[in-house]
C-alpha cells in the first residue's frame, strides 16, 4: 500500500472538514442504537460516533490527523477489512466510497463484516442541477465526477447483496461547518478563498486553466451584483437539498 493520494490533498484536511452538528445528527439517527460500529474510510474521524470500535483508513496522512481519543484505527482498505464476518452491528462509510479502487469489492466487505450498512454519498444529477457553482460556473466538476461510484452504484451493488435499501436526503445547512464542495451554497464568496477550495477535492483537483476563468467570472458576478440578482431565491433558505444522501441497508 505505497500510494497515498491524500499525501497532498489531505494535509490540513481536519481543518477544512470539521463535522457539522446537523449532519452528524443525521448520521447518528441513521446508525441508531448500534452497539458497535466500524468507520470505513474514516479519515481524521470527522463523523465518528461513540460506538465506533474500529476506524479503517488507508492513508497515513489522514491517520496522522486523527485526534487523541479517536477510535482505534487500522491502516487498511475497504476492499480488505481486517474484521471477521459479522464482527460489528454497523459499517459506516462517509463520503469515501467514490475514492475506493474497487467499490464493488469494498461494499461486499461492508456487507460481510456488519449487519447494517450506513453510507453517506450523493446523487450526481441533483448535485449538478442544484449546486449553482457546478450548474452555472464549473460543469467540469460534474463531468469529472460522472465516473465516480456514488448513489446508484451503491444502491445497485447493495441490492445485488440482497439488502433492503432506504435512501434519506441530507440537506446542507446554510452555515454548514464542514468544508465539502456543496457547503458554501449560500456563501458564494467562500469559493474565491484558496483555503476553502483546497478543502473540497472536487475543486482542488481542477486545473488552474479550468478553475481560473470560472472563478474570475464568479468574482465579477459577485462584484457587479449579477450573482445576487440570479440567486436571490437562495438567500432566505436555511438549508438546501444538494443531493447528499444517506443510504441505509439491512438484510431482507
Contacts with ligand SAM by CB under 6 A lie at 6, 17, 40-43, 46-47, 57-59, 62, 77-79, 94-96, 99-101, 106
Instruction: Pick between residue 55 and residue 138 the one whose CB is nearest to ligand SAM.
Output: 55
Instruction: Pick between residue 41 and residue 243 the one whose CB is nearest to ligand SAM.
Output: 41
CB of residue 244 vs ligand SAM: minimum separation in angstroms? Answer: 11
Instruction: Pick between residue 179 and residue 188 the one whose CB is nearest to ligand SAM.
Output: 179
Strand partners, 54: 38
Closest Cα to residue 188, out of 232, 144, 145, 129? 232
Instruction: Pick between residue 87 and residue 219 the one whose CB is nearest to ligand SAM.
Output: 87
Torsion, Cα of 140, 141, 146, 149 (10° steps): 160
Q: What are phi and psi of 45, to 5 degrees?
A: 95, 30
DSSP letter for each residue of 101-156:
S-HHHHHHHHHHHEEEEEEEEE-HHHHHHH-HIIIII-HHHHHHHTTS--HHHHHH
Tell me the residue number closest to ligand SAM, measured at CB. Answer: 43
CB of residue 17 vs ligand SAM: minimum separation in angstroms? Answer: 5
Place of cell 463531468: 143
CB of residue 143 vs ligand SAM: minimum separation in angstroms? Answer: 20
Instruction: Pick between residue 39 and residue 155 the one whose CB is nearest to ligand SAM.
Output: 39
CB of residue 34 vs ligand SAM: minimum separation in angstroms? Answer: 17
The tally of CA atoms less than 13 A away on the side-chain side of residue 182 is 26
Question: What gap in Å lies between CA 64 and CA 43, rounded to an integer?
Answer: 9
Question: What gap in Å lies between CA 200 and CA 191, rounded to an integer?
Answer: 10
Amino acid at each position: 500500500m505505497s500510494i497515498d493520494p491524500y499525501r497532498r490533498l489531505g494535509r490540513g484536511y481536519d481543518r477544512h472538514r470539521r463535522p457539522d452538528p446537523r449532519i452528524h445528527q443525521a448520521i447518528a439517527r441513521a446508525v441508531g442504537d448500534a452497539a458497535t460500529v466500524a468507520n470505513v474510510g474514516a479519515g481524521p474521524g470527522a463523523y465518528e460516533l461513540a460506538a465506533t470500535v474500529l476506524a479503517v483508513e488507508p492513508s497515513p496522512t489522514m491517520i496522522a490527523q486523527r485526534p487523541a481519543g479517536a477510535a482505534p484505527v487500522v491502516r487498511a482498505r475497504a476492499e480488505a477489512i481486517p474484521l471477521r464476518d459479522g464482527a460489528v452491528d454497523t459499517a459506516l462509510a462517509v463520503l469515501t466510497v467514490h475514492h475506493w479502487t474497487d467499490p464493488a469489492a469494498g461494499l461486499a466487505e461492508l456487507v460481510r463484516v456488519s449487519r447494517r450498512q450506513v453510507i453517506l454519498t450523493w446523487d450526481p444529477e441533483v448535485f449538478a442541477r442544484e449546486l449553482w457553482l457546478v450548474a452555472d460556473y464549473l460543469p467540469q466538476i460534474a463531468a469529472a465526477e460522472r465516473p465516480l461510484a456514488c448513489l446508484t452504484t451503491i444502491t445497485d451493488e447493495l441490492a445485488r447483496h440482497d439488502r433492503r435499501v432506504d435512501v434519506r436526503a441530507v440537506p446542507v445547512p446554510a452555515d454548514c461547518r464542514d468544508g465539502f464542495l456543496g457547503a458554501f451554497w449560500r456563501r458564494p464568496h467562500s469559493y474565491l478563498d484558496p483555503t476553502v477550495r483546497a478543502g473540497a477535492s472536487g475543486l482542488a483537483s481542477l486545473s488552474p486553466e479550468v478553475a481560473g476563468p470560472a472563478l474570475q467570472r464568479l468574482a465579477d458576478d459577485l462584484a457587479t451584483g449579477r450573482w445576487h440578482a440570479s440567486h436571490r431565491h437562495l438567500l432566505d433558505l436555511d438549508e438546501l437539498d444538494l443531493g447528499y444522501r444517506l443510504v441505509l441497508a439491512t438484510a431482507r
